[in-house]
């Protein structure tokens, strides 16, 4: 088995570098040899550059059609912020099939584990051979050190148990490897050390096209702040964010509504780390992240738009053709003030009638009481004394269509959409399967500031906590906070600012609140739970950990059609789910006697 692993990594390494190196400049692919890669500064630089295109493939893993892995990493599934629909996505999100031997293993756990360890193996080689070359390879060692810490951080945040290795795997040491779970102290020591090396050796900025998108000193400082936050090393968190602000290599974007409305997100002033995609040779194969978080309102005849005398189904107003798999839930949307600018900049909430052939007459609303919950709700939005005929440009509400046409709209068409990854720039509006080449932001300055607010809260420095908290809060159009900052405020502002960027899981888990937040808010009541977990009014109480504000609400689910079990996650989730299971195929390779399965999944 070890021989198989070694041969696989060797072949993968060589083919990866042979196929990706035209990323910056074209050379003969046949010039790459073990000698030129490992024994010259130029070869190590090529190896560093090859890390970026390999990482760009992560959003497509777990099935290239769905990009299943990427959709879970960045789509806030399995956090308290989303409601989800259909298939394997929903099974995982509801924890109905999360085990190490389930189909999910092949779509999520194994691809993530092997992806991260492949990159770790490459960084081990760069660092090992680069240190032998000394000063000439210092920059490559610094960059590879960031990447090694980045990959170990990714593994730690998801699995909390990992195999730690820092030496290149060769035929000489292959049989000496011992696959045992690493001590967490050793893992954090390595990440700290690697990030110190990266901070010392990386440049402040990357201003030319040949190095665009590569990590900088600020990227490494941000990751070190994240690592320190896990370690509750709050002074280090504060120091690193203060250094980012002092060095001024990145500017906090002044207008929150204009951060994501472009494809070249690497040019956003507050982007600290971005995966760059381009529809050209060397630019990667793209991804499908944007369409997964946009609802399918375009499939409703009411939104077809008359353009140049022709009814057009997919247009910019309804964000074109999308897939609709995960959406902001009612808990997330409740966290925003009504005038918070992020509601406009980060979401598409309202859609309008556009089809002159499909307009409806909205009946006068009636107040009804739900027999199960005892809650009252209005049947339409028309509170006048007479029916109203909808006009072009009027907002669409599901209950109005229900009352007028006696048929509900599928919830995938009516739920709000996260538009951070929507692509109106490189993806044709009428193409569902088209690949998007919109860049993907991994780290933003916004998160740095919220990390500093959290650190200063723990350090009992309210003046500094308010200063950094108000960075994102005031930019969104809210009045500056003058009272004391609380942890709950930081928790909620983290959700408001960073939702659907893949940062929520880390925050909840490292603060020890993932399970409670999942139990209270994950998924949504877009309809009553299924018969396997029937809704019991007396049991759905605050005493059992649920927030009744986000229980069954007919004023919310009355708009939606179909049987919906998305709230089952609150019934199924267990504390051990906060850790991903070690992929069974990896345990088989390492030996279960050496690396046993995570508790709860056995």
Which residue's structure tokens are 């070869």?
A: 43
Residues recorded for the chain: 602
251-256: average pLDDT: 96
Residues 6 or more apart in contact with residue 538 via CB below 8 angstroms: none
Name residue 168's beta-bridge partners.
none
| Residue pLDDT, tens place only, 522-533 | 998 877 776 666
Which secondary-structure segment (H or E) carries 414? helix 411-414
112-134: average pLDDT: 96
If you average pLDDT over every residue of the chain, what do you get?
A: 88
The pLDDT of residue 581 is: 94
Q: How far apart are CA 153 and CA 158, in angstroms?
A: 9
Q: Provide the CB-side half-sphere exposure for 56 (13 A, CA).
A: 26
Q: Is 582 helix (H, G, I), strand (E, B) or coil?
A: coil
Look up residue 226 and give its two tokens: 């994240």
Which secondary-structure segment (H or E) carries 441? strand 440-444
Phi, psi (degrees; rounded to nearest 5) at 503? -105, -10
Residues 6 or more apart in contact with residue 239 via CB below 8 angstroms: none
DSSP state for residue 580 in the 8-state scheme: P
Q: Is 112 helix (H, G, I), strand (E, B) or coil?
A: helix
CB 501 within 8 A of CB 260: no
The pLDDT of residue 576 is: 95
Does 211 have pLDDT greater than 60? no
| Residue pLDDT, tens place only, 106-119 | 889 999 999 999 99
The pLDDT of residue 189 is: 98
| Residue pLDDT, tens place only, 560-596 | 887 667 788 888 899 999 999 999 999 999 999 999 9
The pLDDT of residue 64 is: 60
Tell which wins on pLDDT, 531 or 4: 531
Q: How far apart are CA 399 and CA 362, in angstroms?
A: 9
Tell which wins on pLDDT, 437 or 284: 437
540-561: average pLDDT: 78
Nearest alpha-carbon partner for 127 in 152, 93, 102: 152
Residue 376 pLDDT level (bands cut at 50, 70, 90):
very high
| Residue pLDDT, tens place only, 323-346 | 888 999 999 999 999 999 999 999
Nearest alpha-carbon partner for 93 in 378, 292, 354: 292
For the chain, first and last CA: distance in Å?
23
Does 299 have pLDDT greater than 80? yes
Residues 6 or more apart in contact with residue 507 via CB below 8 angstroms: 491, 494, 498
Phi, psi (degrees; rounded to nearest 5) at 7? -65, -40
Residues 6 or more apart in contact with residue 340 via CB below 8 angstroms: 476, 477, 478, 496
Phi, psi (degrees; rounded to nearest 5) at 311? -75, 125
């Amino acid at each position: 088995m070890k021989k198989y692993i070694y041969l696989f990594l060797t072949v993968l390494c060589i083919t990866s570098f042979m196929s990706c190196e035209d990323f910056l400049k074209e050379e003969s692919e046949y010039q790459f040899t073990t000698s030129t890669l490992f024994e010259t500064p130029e070869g190590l630089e090529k190896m560093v550059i090859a890390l970026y295109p390999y990482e760009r493939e992560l959003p497509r893993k777990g099935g290239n059609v769905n990009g299943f892995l990427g959709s879970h990493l960045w789509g806030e599934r399995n956090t308290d912020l989303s409601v989800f629909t259909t298939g394997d996505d929903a099974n995982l999100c509801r924890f109905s099939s999360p085990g190490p031997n389930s189909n999910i293993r092949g779509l999520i756990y194994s691809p993530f584990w092997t992806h991260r360890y492949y990159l770790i193996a490459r960084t081990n080689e760069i660092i090992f051979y680069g240190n032998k070359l000394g000063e000439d390879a210092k920059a490559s060692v610094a960059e590879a050190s960031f990447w090694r810490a980045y990959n170990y951080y990714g593994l730690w945040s998801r699995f909390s148990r990992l195999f730690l290795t820092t030496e290149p795997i060769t035929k000489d040491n292959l049989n000496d490897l011992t696959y045992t779970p690493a001590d967490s102290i050793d893992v954090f020591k390595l990440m700290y050390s690697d990030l110190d090396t990266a901070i010392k050796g990386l440049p402040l900025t990357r201003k030319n096209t040949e190095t665009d998108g590569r990590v900088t000193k600020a990227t490494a400082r941000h990751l070190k702040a994240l690592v320190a936050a896990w370690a509750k090393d709050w002074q280090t968190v504060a120091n690193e964010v203060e250094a980012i602000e002092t060095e001024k290599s990145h500017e906090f974007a002044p207008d929150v509504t204009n951060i994501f409305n472009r494809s070249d997100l690497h040019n956003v002033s507050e982007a600290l780390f971005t995966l760059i995609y381009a529809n050209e040779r060397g630019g990667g194969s793209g991804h499908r992240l944007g369409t997964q978080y946009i609802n399918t309102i375009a499939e409703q005849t009411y939104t077809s738009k008359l353009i140049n005398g022709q009814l057009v189904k997919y247009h910019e107003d309804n964000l074109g053709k999308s897939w609709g798999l995960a959406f902001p839930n009612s808990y997330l949307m409740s966290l925003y003030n009504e005038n918070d600018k992020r509601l406009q900049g980060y979401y598409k909430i309202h859609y309008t009638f556009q089809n002159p052939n499909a307009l409806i007459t909205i009946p006068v609303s009636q107040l009804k009481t739900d027999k199960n919950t005892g809650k009252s709700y209005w049947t339409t939005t028309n509170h006048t004394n007479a029916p109203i005929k909808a006009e072009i440009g009027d907002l669409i509400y599901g209950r109005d269509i229900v009352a007028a046409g006696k048929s509900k709209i599928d919830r995938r068409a009516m739920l709000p959409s996260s538009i951070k990854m929507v692509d109106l720039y490189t993806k044709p509006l009428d193409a569902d399967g088209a690949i998007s080449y919109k860049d993907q932001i991994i780290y933003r300055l916004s998160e740095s500031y919220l990390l500093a607010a959290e650190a200063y809260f723990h350090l009992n420095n309210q003046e500094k906590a308010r200063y950094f908290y108000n960075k994102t809060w005031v930019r969104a159009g809210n009045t500056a906070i003058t009272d004391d900052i609380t942890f709950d405020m930081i928790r909620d502002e983290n959700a408001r600012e960073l939702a659907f960027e893949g940062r929520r899981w880390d925050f909840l888990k490292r603060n020890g609140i993932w399970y409670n937040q999942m139990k209270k808010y994950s998924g949504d009541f877009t309809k009553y739970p299924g018969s396997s977990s029937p809704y019991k009014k007396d049991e759905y109480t605050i005493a059992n950990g649920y927030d009744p504000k986000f229980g069954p609400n007919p004023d919310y689910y009355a708009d939606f059609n179909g049987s919906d079990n998305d709230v089952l996650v609150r019934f199924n989730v267990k504390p051990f789910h906060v850790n991903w299971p070690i992929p069974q195929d990896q345990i088989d390779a390492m030996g279960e006697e050496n690396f046993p399965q995570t508790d709860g999944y056995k």
